[in-house]
Amino acid sequence: MATDAADQHNGLLVEIENLHFSRGPRQVFAGVDIGIRRGEVAAIMGPSGSGKTTLLRLIGGQLRPDAGRIRVDGVDVHSLRRRQLYQLRKRMGMLFQSGALFTHLNCFENVAFPLREHTRLSQALIRHLVLIKLEAVGLRGARDLYPAELSGGMGRRVALARAIALDPMMVMYDEPFSGQDPITMGILVRLIRLLNDALGLTSIIVSHDVAETAEISDHIHVISAGKIVESGPPAALRESRSEWVRQFLNALPDGPVPFHYPARPLAEDLLGSSAGVGVS
């Protein structure tokens, strides 16, 4: 799947153009445009329910858009036949929010799984590659442990080693910092940036952890109400005049996303009939 000349010229690995997607009556995306450059760490940020994980599934071809186009490495993802799509997915690593390790396999075999499944490498070479990947995330010594014997942070790191087992061009991270203690979070932040640069990857991070994500991102795309509210480097977004961006980045409880659920005025409610909603 060679990259075409135009894509080489603009340096984009992922191009999302006028993306529309709905789940039943709910519109998730309404004309989203995103460009992710080769070699960068890009973040997709927004509140819960804004469609961040859905966007990763659209990029990977698990879901099809209602309209618009997604190109990865110069290829229209949703025009591919099943076999071609599977070949493209081999070049995409994925770190799931839960880690999604196979509980019946130890750490070594979890990382070895994609190598055994998708290559014809010798057992000796697979062993060397697995140990190198585990070393990269600091867990070569834990290769014989099973997922139930790992802390949550260690499980994420083993899952990251598995995500890079096939030397992908891109790794997608779904809420990698969720539920982690400060030390583990710091390790994951460092690993994502280090592996991205050392391995020549492109990384896409879906997260609502502002400080950690902004620390390692080259570019942030903020989503709300099915659209990109603003995109730019972290420093530029911190100076944004958008009330929505400022509310999200500064964790303000009230703003364009209101604290109060829509209701009639309190005085009217207090003085109104006791036969209203909420009275049993």
Sorted by where each begins, the domain ranges of the chain are 101-167
Under the banding of pLDDT at 50, 70 and 90, the label for residue 274 is low
Nearest to 135 by CA among 116, 114, 107: 107
- 128-165 tens-digit pLDDT: 999 999 999 989 999 999 999 998 888 989 999 999 99
The yes-or-no verdict on residue 260 having pLDDT over 80 is no
pLDDT value, residue 251: 66
Q: Output the pTM of the full model.
A: 0.83
Per DSSP, 47 falls in state S
Partners of residue 274 on adjacent β-strands: none
Under the banding of pLDDT at 50, 70 and 90, the label for residue 252 is low
3-class state of residue 61 by DSSP: coil
Query: What whole-number percentage of the chain has pLDDT above 90?
Result: 49
Helix 107-118 to helix 123-136 angle (10° resolution) is 130
Q: What is the CA radius of gyration of the chain?
A: 21
- 5-57 tens-digit pLDDT: 444 546 899 999 999 999 888 889 998 999 999 999 999 988 777 788 899 99
- Output phi, psi for 103, to 5 deg: -70, -20
The yes-or-no verdict on residue 82 having pLDDT over 60 is yes
Measure the CA–CA gap between 56 and 146, rounded to whole angstroms: 28
Cα 145 to Cα 24, 109, 110, 271: the distances in Å are 43, 10, 10, 64
The yes-or-no verdict on residue 236 having pLDDT over 80 is yes
pLDDT value, residue 257: 67
pLDDT value, residue 5: 46
What token pair was written down for 190? Answer: 């460092």
How far is residue 94 CA from its own chain's centroid?
A: 8
The yes-or-no verdict on residue 3 having pLDDT over 70 is no
Nearest to 37 by CA among 203, 183, 194, 165: 203
Confirm if 205 and 8 have CB atoms less than 8 A apart: no
pLDDT value, residue 221: 93
